Amino acid sequence: MKDLSLHILDIVQNSLHAGATRVDISITEDVVKNIFEITIKDNGSGIDPGNSEKVTDPFYTTGTKKKVGLGLALLKQNAEAAGGFLKIENSFPRGVKVTARFQHNHIDRQPLGKIEETIKILMTAINLRLIYSHEYNGKIFVLDTLEIEDALETKNLSNPKIVKYITEMIIENLTDIGAY
Amino acid sequence: MGKIKTLADLRKMREKLKSETDLRDKSEHPEDMVQIKVAMATCCIASGSRETMNYIVDELEKRNVDAVVTQTGCMGYCYAEPTVEVTVPGKEPIVFGYVDEKKANEIIERYIKNGELVEGIIPMNYRSIEETK
Ligand code: FES
């Protein structure tokens, strides 16, 4: 993967396969503490405890075609190469929480890339409430698809015009908090 | 109209959106529309499927083509990523391989709009392991 926003898209695919109806993507950047952290939490079916070791095995799969382990293995490798780690845990009451931590200024930390392009794809997922929050040195931006649905009085956020507004909104706010 | 930044800005756009777009839930009658599925598994993403899908969404909008674009898992044609399945109403689904922006453009203009065949079709008699079981 070229950048972290692509990793995020990939990890969320696992959540969607696990039947998640809610996914929380949180990015925390703290330049002083030298932290870049991504957490992805879902309410999908979770990982069966016996498999928690195996999910970062690149050859682990939950079906003939789904290579669940590959994406997590790649992310783990990249996090470790950038002085960080990857943690996968079951979250309460159900679902999985994936945490990827990097050193913010590490030369091998991949750039975030275009996170709005990732959100754009995820907005086409049916019945998914997506909450994306991004904190940069204490300033925070939160996007919640449920709030947007209410504001626009529609359930159909995959409409291209709406997606365009939301992309714009993300770029504006990330610029505002200093993350872009 | 300035830039959209807050929920309040979005709320202001609501009436405008309602009047110029069709906010019907398209997924209710997918069979009457062109359907496009973009494979979005790990290797697909690494080979550019996100860019392909967003390009398709943007271009369909610009060119006023009504279609439902969704993401799907690996379709089993990994050797030809990014792969895209296009179903035009009344026709068999067709899978195209190596769909970059140039190919996507051709698919929209020639196949979807004009019904011409374009190169890059993955033969459907090639079935993945999963499907032949
Ligand atoms: S993993 Fe991309 S098409 Fe199979």
Q: Determine if ligand 1 sits within 6 Å of the CB of residue B43.
A: yes
The CATH number covering residue A41 comes to 3.30.565.10
CB contact under 8 A, B46 and A1: yes
Can you give the residue range of the structural domain that contains B63? Answer: 33-132
Higher-pLDDT residue of B16, A87: A87
Can you give the residue range of the structural domain that contains A60? Answer: 4-177
For range B85-104, the mean pLDDT: 94
Task: Judge whether B6 lies within some domain.
Answer: no
Mutate to test the pocket of ligand 1, among B47, B49, B71, B74 (most ligand atoms within 8 A of CB): B74
CB contact under 8 A, B5 and A169: yes
- pLDDT > 70: percent of chain B: 83
Which residues, 6 or more positions from A31, have their beta carbon under 8 angstroms from its beta carbon?
A104, A105, A137
Give the residue from chain A lying closest to B20, CA to CA.
A161
| Confidence band for A65, pLDDT divided at 50, 70 and 90 | very low
Provide φ and ψ at B47, rounded to 5°.
-100, 10
| pLDDT exceeds 70 at position B91 | yes
Q: What's the pTM?
A: 0.90
Residue of B118, B110, B26, B124 lying closest to B75 (CA atoms):
B124
Task: Kindly report the average pLDDT of chain A as a whole number.
Answer: 90
Task: Judge whether B18 lies within some domain.
Answer: no
pLDDT for residue A64? 47
DSSP assignment letter at A3: S
The CATH number covering residue B42 comes to 3.40.30.10
Q: What ipTM does this complex have? A: 0.89
Task: Judge whether B51 lies within some domain.
Answer: yes
Q: Which two tokens stand for residue B55?
A: 């390009």
- The structural domain count of chain B equals 1
Residue of A112, A141, A143 lying closest to A130 (CA atoms):
A143
| pLDDT exceeds 60 at position B26 | no
Q: Which two tokens stand for residue B65?
A: 């083509």
- The structural domain count of chain A equals 1
Contact A20, A87 (CB under 8 A): no
Task: Judge whether B2 lies within some domain.
Answer: no
For range A163-179, the mean pLDDT: 95
